[in-house]
Amino acid sequence: MRNYCNSKEGRKNTRDQIKYPIGQFQPKNNLSNDEIINLIKQIPELIKRLNTLLIGLEQYQLETPYRPNGWTVRQVIHHLADNDMNAYLRFKRGLTENNPLANTYREDSWGELIDYKKLPVENSLSLIEILHHRFLVLLNELSIEEYKRTIQTEVLGIITLETAIQRFIWHNKHHASQIENLIRREKWKDI
């Protein structure tokens, strides 16, 4: 029997599982109205999960990378706020422009800026909560046809807004799972 933990393939699978605990993003096409409503209902749960994960963590824990050579918990939270702002603006451009080119940003470089290292996570958690509330107001008023509008992205190419909202939710769950897995591995608290 092959020992995957000691093999190159096993180490790669373990690294991938730590980096992508919920797997790579896989969009679903041609969502029904009920499926879109289900997606929208998940958004308020995103900030609740982050708050639950972070409650009671010490400063040294916030400074711990979720994986070797990865971002700290603090950097991940600040990244989520910045990414959600960018996603929200790209989404709005998709609603108001014809297939706009969605701006990208150097998230690795942003993660090294001083605000990611110094600001308390509560700043970004508040920003995320307010931004998600605004996004919900917008999303709840859209027609199924509006979710078919498109934007161009550097990573995914041309995508519909229904794919963009799926990625928005996946991205938040992806990073929350990274934090949760770190907490479990380090046995910091029961979650």
Query: Quick check: is 94 in a domain?
Result: yes
Question: Rounded CA gap, 63 and 132, in Å?
Answer: 25
* Domains identified in the chain, total number: 1
Query: Quick check: is 20 in a domain?
Result: no
pLDDT higher than 80, residue 98? yes
The domain of 174 spans 35-186
Query: Quick check: is 117 in a domain?
Result: yes
> Where residue 39 sits, what CATH number does that domain have?
1.20.120.450
Query: Quick check: is 5 in a domain?
Result: no
Query: Quick check: is 110 in a domain?
Result: yes
Q: What percent of the chain is modeled with pLDDT above 90?
A: 86
| pLDDT at site 12 | 56
Query: Quick check: is 60 in a domain?
Result: yes
103 confidence band (pLDDT: 50, 70, 90):
confident
Query: Quick check: is 149 in a domain?
Result: yes
Q: Tens digits of per-residue pLDDT, 16-74?
A: 788 899 999 999 999 999 999 999 999 999 999 999 999 999 999 999 999 999 999 99
Query: Quick check: is 40 in a domain?
Result: yes
Q: Tens digits of per-residue pLDDT, 109-159?
A: 999 999 999 999 999 999 999 999 999 999 999 999 999 999 999 888 999
Contacts 24+ apart (CB under 8 A), 72-77: 73/121, 73/179, 73/182, 74/116, 74/117, 74/121, 75/111, 75/116, 75/117, 76/175, 76/178, 76/179, 77/50, 77/121, 77/124, 77/125
- pTM strictly above 0.95: no
